[in-house]
Amino acid sequence: MPPTNPSSPDLRHADAAEPRRRGSRKSAGGITLRDVAQLAGVAPITASRALNTPSAVSPKVLQKVREAVERTGYVPNLLAGGLASNKSRLVAVVVPTVIGPVFQEIVHTLTETLAAAGYQVMLGQSGYENSREDALLEAIIGRRPDGVVLTGIMRSAEARKRLLASGIPVVETWDLTPTPIDMLVGFSHENIGREVARYLHAAGRRVVAVVGGRDERSRRRMDAFAQEASALGMTANDAPVPMHHVTAPTTLGQGRKGLADLLQRQPQTDAIFCSSDLLALGVMIEAQSRGIRIPEQLALVGFGDLEFSRDLQPQLTTVRIDGTGIGQRAARFIIDRAAGIEVAERIVDIGFSIIQRESA
């Protein structure tokens, strides 16, 4: 039997003279809710309510608790709160990498929007390979986040299964699949490729080529583009559309090399679709240094609509994805789910737009 006196369980704080029992621990020393409550002359739970649901306590209590918080500099321990309430107020955001401009807008918007709703963002980088996905997933699930936003990743079926099993709300983005893990905010890479081909065809271009990243999504845009272009007869001598593949993340330098390569393979090329604006800028600079005029001799379409693209000379025609819109929708999905609101439509096609400028 433990040495505590069962007849007076409430006195355990009174008999301080008693030697420390085994297992007892000292606190980390910080101010706790208990301290605040004591100072305010209320029970801890009342102080908790004053902070979390102010409408549930009397104005008098509310003021006393707020004063106590002010005086002590109390900051609630969200780890403890999360454990007790089973709500961590944490959202994991996974991107291949934060380097490169592609996912910045989404990460930014998610961080902002979720912060405004009282959530924090935990950042995970999956890399462009699949190897680290498992470790990353373990780290994520271990935090018991209230949601996970996946941006163009989690290919492994095992990882998807574990995520699903964890019961954590998941929003996939940056792609469109009929069978998402849970929720989805994306767009069709295939449609983009097709539309760009049609756009260039309508602009009178007849011999097209491609500079594109090797990653899967980029490939799907490029392949759809090539297929549609072939169907529209935009190839030289019925040959397949020449493609210059580069390794992600894409760079300006790769764009320069890409143009050099493509011109050698197909000198009569009159239009190029690039899988990123950075590649397009490289093509543009290489063209300038070779005296090739854009768009007269060569039309150019990028992807991403980076901030600088409208300021280039010539201004870059490109495909715009509404990253802010994706971030906001994704955040809303998770906030709603946490509030118990079930969304009717779990798949949102955010679409894309071809921004017509001078280069094509």
Partner DNA sequence: ATGAAAGCGCTAACAT
Partner DNA sequence: ATGTTAGCGCTTTCAT
Residues 6+ apart with CB under 8 A from 129: none
C-alpha 140/C-alpha 90 separation (Å) is 10
Q: Which of 5, 8, 58, 63 binds DNA (CB under 7 A)?
A: 58
Per DSSP, the three-state class of 303 is strand
Q: Toward DNA, which CB reaches closer, 81 or 253?
A: 81
Specify which residues 354 forms β-bridges with: 319
Cis peptide before 295 (omega within 30 of 0): yes
- Reference 198, options 291, 271, 119; nearest CA is 271
Closer by beta carbon to a second copy, 182 or else 195:
182
Task: Give the number of residues in contact with DNA, rule: CB under 7 A.
Answer: 43
21 lines the binding site for DNA (CB under 7 A): yes
Of residues 259, 275, 200, the one with CA closest to residue 231: 200
Triad 222, 356, 105: Cα angle to 5°: 70
State in angstroms the smallest separation of the CB of 86 from DNA. 7
Query: Which CB sits closer to DNA, 18 or 216?
Result: 18
DSSP string over 98-140:
SSSSTTHHHHHHHHHHHHHTT-EEEEEE--SSSTTHHHHHHHH
Work out what residue 278 binds among DNA, a second copy, none; the CB cut-off runs from 5 to 8 Å by kind.
a second copy
What is the residue type of 81? Answer: G
Q: Which partner, a second copy, DNA, none, binds residue 97 by CB below 5 to 8 Å per kind?
A: a second copy
Q: Kindly report the number of other CB atoms within 10 A of residue 236's CB atom.
A: 18
Listed ranges 24-32, 145-153, 224-232, 282-290: which one lies at the site for DNA (CB under 7 A): 24-32
Give me the residues that bind a second copy (CB under 8 A), please. Answer: 1-2, 6-7, 9, 28, 73, 75-80, 82-83, 86, 88, 90, 93, 97-101, 104-105, 107-108, 111-112, 115, 118, 120-125, 135-136, 138-139, 141-144, 162, 165-166, 251-253, 256, 278, 281-282, 285, 288-289, 307-308, 310-313
- Partner from a second copy, DNA, none binding residue 143, C-beta < 5-8 Å depending on class: a second copy
Rule CB under 7 A: is residue 339 a binding residue for DNA?
no
Among a second copy, DNA, none, partner that 311 touches (CB below 5 to 8 angstroms by kind) = a second copy
Taking CB under 7 A as the criterion, the residue among 5, 8, 18, 43 binding DNA is 43
Closest CA to 66 of 46, 41, 40: 40
Q: What are the E-state strand segments in the chain?
A: 90-95, 120-125, 147-151, 170-173, 183-186, 208-213, 243-246, 271-274, 299-303, 317-320, 347-349, 353-355
Q: State the binding partner of 285 from a second copy, DNA, none, CB within 5 to 8 A by kind.
A: a second copy
Cβ 45 to DNA, closest distance in Å? Answer: 4
Report in angstroms how near the CB of residue 126 gets to DNA at its nearest: 24
Using CB distances below 5 to 8 A depending on partner kind, what does residue 44 bind out of a second copy, DNA, none? DNA
Long-range contacts from 288-293, C-beta under 8 angstroms, 24+ separation: 290/259, 290/263
Min CB(337)–DNA separation in Å: 16
Of 22, 178, 202, 237, which one interacts with DNA (CB under 7 A)? 22
Tabulate helix, strand, coil % of the chain (nearest 5).
Answer: 45, 15, 40
Among 5, 11, 70, 80, binds DNA (CB under 7 A): 80
Q: How far is the CB of 309 from a second copy (least distance, A)?
A: 9
The length of the chain in residues reads 360
Residues that bind DNA (CB under 7 A): 2-4, 9-10, 12, 20-28, 30, 32-34, 42-46, 48-49, 51-52, 56-58, 60-61, 74, 76-77, 80-81, 83-87
